[in-house]
Amino acid sequence: MTQDIDPITLAVLAGRMEQIADEMDATLFRAAFNPIIAEAHDASHGLYHAVSGDTLVQGKSGLPIFVGVMSFAVKAVIDKAAENGDLADGDIYIFNDAHLGGTHLSDMRLVRPYFHDGKLFCYLASVGHWHDVGGAVPGNYNPAATDAFQEAFVLPPVRLARAGVVQTDIIDILMRNTRLPQSAQGDLNGQLGALDLGGRRLDELLGEYGADTVRSALDALQDRAELLMRGELTDLPDGRWEAEDFLDNDGITDAPLRIKVALEIQGDQMTLDFTGTADRCAGPVNIALPTAVATAYVAIKHIFPGLPANAGVMRPIDVKIPDGSLLSAPFPAPVGGYTETILRMVDVIFAAASQAAPDRVVANAYGTINALSISGKRANGQPWVMFSFYGGGHGGSPESDGLNHGNAPISTATIPPLEILEAAYPVMFKQWALRPDSAGAGLHRGGMGAIYEIEVLEESATAFLFGERGRFAPKGVAGGAEAAMNLFSYEQDDGWHTPPMASKMVGIKLKRGQSVRLDTPGGGGYGPANDRAATEVARDVAGRLLTPDHATKTYGDAWTEVQQ
């Protein structure tokens, strides 16, 4: 039964429910064993609708891409439970099947039904990026994979707990399919702890306000999000705008892959139509349909940042994903490099939106997480796997220059500090610095990319890279210029080499003292470079973000006058 709810009570309950999800995030971040969760915060928690699986509330510290994706994951569990017909209080489902729950196989999802007074009220869910889940390469980002089985161990939705009793045989299977069982066990326990805390906090909330009042608040929050979204769309001009960009390749065939969108606004409705996007490919830059829909949500949230994070925002938006495209690849298509594809989806949505409302968007960010893995065995025979992602420049905006050395705009994650990585693994960072001349020029230039040079300290190691933007630079908007492209190199006995496919390579053999190096892209510029103040160009040169020659090349006469 729903009921009217006054604005003050609604605001209080909204804050309380957000706090529950935030506490769940914090619980996992503090308990997780692997730095990708503990330091980089590649995880998320939320509350989801008991029937539809729609996102009701999500923690603010988790990854935005999980907002939309996790609703598909919860719906997969709802369907599985309906098939079994015996959902019980204390059940917990676990799975990593990306074609059902989105993203990729490294993201382990735990979904728990929450009961109040014997009735199902909602679902609690936790997702976290486990360090290793089997597969052909340590860390699972296999740029040469041609099906999901070459990426990781595939787990469909199964019950980890039945009516509160943990099924230890499921845990045994999981721990046998990872190179790092201690890390996986620690991350699993952290996720279980987060779900347990979420249940206790909901007990407190419903005990204080009652289930009907809280349910009415959740319904009202979604309805208000829809109204806010419709109001935002009404303020924009009607029309249709198109944009396209490309992925370097799929890691198997060295040919570019188009990502295309048409953005249409009519009154209080928006359509995002990706017709014209490349067909499903052999390599792992495909994504599953849930991931594509969730990515559209992430882009919309960037364009309209004041809107709440729940499913009501997407009610006025129709996302059209063509069958057979690399944005709707069916199982067992490889999807391990989903991050690269969704970043390009965000880029083209921004580029299309900039034609309708340039004051609402930023230029392209650096556009790749540069998933780099270095692994081997220590002197005592113990395996080690250093898997991490790396930053770059964000796009210039209508108000300011882009962020230097930020993380990808699909997330609120952080880049693990070098002190943490050096303490955990036998490597040394010879460089961790901003990359001069990497930003796109503009009225507001893009942010600077970074330089990372990493030396191996053990006798030998093997590395792989799964990146992008090695052949197609991050674009500017509103007349801004492109940024520098991605550059990866690795050291061998005869000197430095670059990958034949520019941004993807497996099986790089390294000896003690040899290094790998990433020169990451900057962000695109916003507005014409000729409109930038010469004093700001001079400041960048003085700060060694720009070399004098590059300043002359990109900013021309204004910079020359300052020199004189």
Q: What is the pLDDT of residues 402-444, one digit of tens each?
A: 999 998 877 666 788 899 899 999 999 999 999 999 999 999 9
Residues 6+ apart with CB under 8 A from 557: none
Nearest of 282, 55, 262, 40 to residue 147 by alpha carbon: 282
Alpha helices in 116-271 (DSSP H): 168-176, 181-209, 211-234
Residue 1 has a pLDDT of: 46
Separation of alpha carbons 163 and 90, rounded Å? 4
pLDDT at 476: 97
Residue for token pair 């994504």: 287
pLDDT of residue 22: 95
| 102 vs 393, more confident | 393
* pLDDT at 48 exceeding the cut of 50: yes
Predicted confidence band of residue 160 (pLDDT cuts 50, 70, 90): very high
Q: How far apart are the first and last CA of the chain?
A: 75
Is the confidence at residue 62, as pLDDT, over 90? no
Dihedral sign, Cα of residue 432, residue 435, residue 440, residue 444: positive
Mean pLDDT of 57-80: 87
Query: 393: part of which helix (H) or strand (E)?
Result: none
pTM greater than the 0.95 cutoff = no
pLDDT, tens digit, 9 for 90 and up, residues 440-481: 999 999 999 999 999 999 999 999 999 999 999 999 999 999
What are the beta bridge partners of residue 463? 374, 508
Q: What is the mean pLDDT of the chain?
A: 93
pLDDT digits (tens, 9 = 90+) for 279-300: 999 999 999 999 999 999 889 9
Both structure tokens of 52: 């539809």
| C-alpha distances out from residue 19 to 12, 198, 304, 373, 387, Å | 11, 10, 22, 35, 31
Pseudo-torsion of CA 552, 365, 503, 509, nearest 10°?
100
Q: Residue 466 forms beta bridges with which residues?
A: 371, 504
CA distance 5 to 240: 39
pLDDT at residue number 140: 83
